[in-house]
Amino acid sequence: MTSPPVTGPAVAPRHRGGPGPARFRPRRTPPAGTARRARRGVLAHWRQYLAISPFFLIFGAFSFFPVFYSLYLAFQRWDGMGTMQFVGLDQFRFLLDDPVFWMSIRNTLAIWVLSTVPTLFGALVLATLLHSVRRFKGFYRIALYIPNVTSIVAVAIFFGAVFSNNFGLVNAILGTVGIPPVPWLSNPWLIKLVIALLMTWMWTGYNMIIYLAGLQAIPTQIYEAAKLDGAGPVRTFFQITVPIMRPIILFTVVISTINGLQSFSEPQVLFGSNAANPNLGGPGQAGLTTLLYFYQSAFVNNDYGYGAAIVWAFFVLILVLVVVNWRLVQRGRKS
């Protein structure tokens, strides 16, 4: 981006003490001069700053401030209304011996792996297929993207009905083939599988569109050259498509890590009708993700300090995972 024109001829005469003509700029500007110049720079561009300010004001009030406020809350005990009580590191100490917290981390990671791997792999395969399709391109793209723009709540309710233990569609179909009903929504691993399936269904199309855009940017000559050299479609995929797409794959991996670890609505809606414990992630808490546990602690139990501690501990975990992922995908790039 170009730097803003700071001094114009019109303002130059006001530069009292300045060394004369505007075009002449000394190597060392006196400190007072820099400060003034900077302020004038902001003022001169007030229209532009005003134009972009709504985002930053809203971001500041509704994202930036709450984020740091929650860090402050993590060291307090607060029920949301009464007086706060400083408790030091107590909340984090509670976290360490809270088996439910660690279980929620395990659940989240399991659901994340179960959903991200098939999502990204499926998206890449689908994108490659779609890239070579000749007819009905628009139809396929829309059809595969629609799940992503469908409301999560609607999808979760739908999945809940389809996989219902007693009267679900899947079990009904299995029943006609003579397979006994499968406890989709009560077995701890099947619960995770259903949630992961739901997320896969929702996010494959999104990643596919990104991959498709990447694929279209690869010059066809490379493929032609590969074909001439006798590479089959599988080899072309792994030796040409995947390496060229690496930066795009990296982007989707990071985004999917962030999204996948934040699963909340899926288990919340799927098990929201559990009358005894609407916010605890279903039977055996197998669908209790960390964010759901945070929600339950803060907004159901009114324990805002503990909730804040949960999300900050979780933030550290996400950060670690994103870095690990980054390095994994980057590895071998230079070789």
Partner 1 sequence: MDLSRRRFLQAAAFTAAASGLTVACGNGSGSAGGKNGKSLTLWYWGGALSDKVVAEAKTHFGKDVKLTVASIGGDFKSKLTTTLAAGTSVPDITGIKGEDMASFLPNANRFLDLNELGFKEVSSKYLDWKTKLARTEDGKQIGFPIDIGPTALFFRADRFDKAGLPTDPDKVAAEAGTWEDYFALGVELRKKVPGTYLINNISSVFNIAVGQGTERFIDRDNRFIGDQDHIRKAWTTAIRPYTLGIDAKINDNTWNAAVGKSLNTELGAAWHALDIEQAAPGTKGKWRVCATPGGPANQGGSYLALPKQCRNPEEAFKIISWILSPENDARGFTDAAIFPAAPAAYSMPAMTGGDPFFGGQKVIEVFGPAAKAIPASYEAPADAAVMAPYMTALTSIEAKGRNPDDAWKDAVGQARQIARRQGVK
Summarize as ranges the residues that interact with partner 1 (CB under 8 A): 1, 3-4, 38, 56-57, 60-61, 64-65, 68, 77, 79-82, 91, 94, 97-100, 160, 164-167, 183, 185-188, 271, 273-277, 280, 282-285, 299-303, 306
- Gap between the Cα atoms of 316 and 298, Å rounded: 19
State which residue, 29 or 164, has the beta carbon closest to partner 1: 164
- Angstrom CA distances, 191 to 91, 195, 315, stand at 29, 6, 25
Q: What angle do CA 200, 107, 256 make, to 5 degrees?
A: 40
State which residue, 133 or 172, has the beta carbon closest to partner 1: 172
Instruction: Report the candidate in 225, 243, 228, 237 with the shortest Cα–Cα distance to residue 129.
Output: 237
Instruction: Report the candidate in 168, 191, 164 with the shortest Cα–Cα distance to residue 282.
Output: 191
State which residue, 100 or 321, has the beta carbon closest to partner 1: 100
* CB-based contact 335:117 (threshold 8 Å): no
**Cβ-count burial of 255 within 10 angstroms (0-12 exposed, 13-18 middle, 19+ buried)?**
middle
State which residue, 61 or 319, has the beta carbon closest to partner 1: 61
Report in angstroms how near the CB of residue 235 gets to partner 1 at its nearest: 43
State which residue, 56 or 139, has the beta carbon closest to partner 1: 56
Report in angstroms how near the CB of residue 32 gets to partner 1 at its nearest: 17
- How many helices (H) does the chain have, and how many strands (E)? 16, 2
- Angstrom CA distances, 258 to 108, 161, 254, 320, stand at 12, 28, 6, 11
Report in angstroms how near the CB of residue 42 gets to partner 1 at its nearest: 9
Report in angstroms how near the CB of residue 306 gets to partner 1 at its nearest: 6
State which residue, 249 or 288, has the beta carbon closest to partner 1: 288
In the Cβ-directed half-sphere of 334, how many Cα atoms lie within 13 Å?
2
Report in angstroms how near the CB of residue 103 gets to partner 1 at its nearest: 10
State which residue, 191 or 249, has the beta carbon closest to partner 1: 191
Report in angstroms how near the CB of residue 308 gets to partner 1 at its nearest: 13
Report in angstroms how near the CB of residue 100 gets to partner 1 at its nearest: 6
Counted residue by residue, the chain has a size of 335
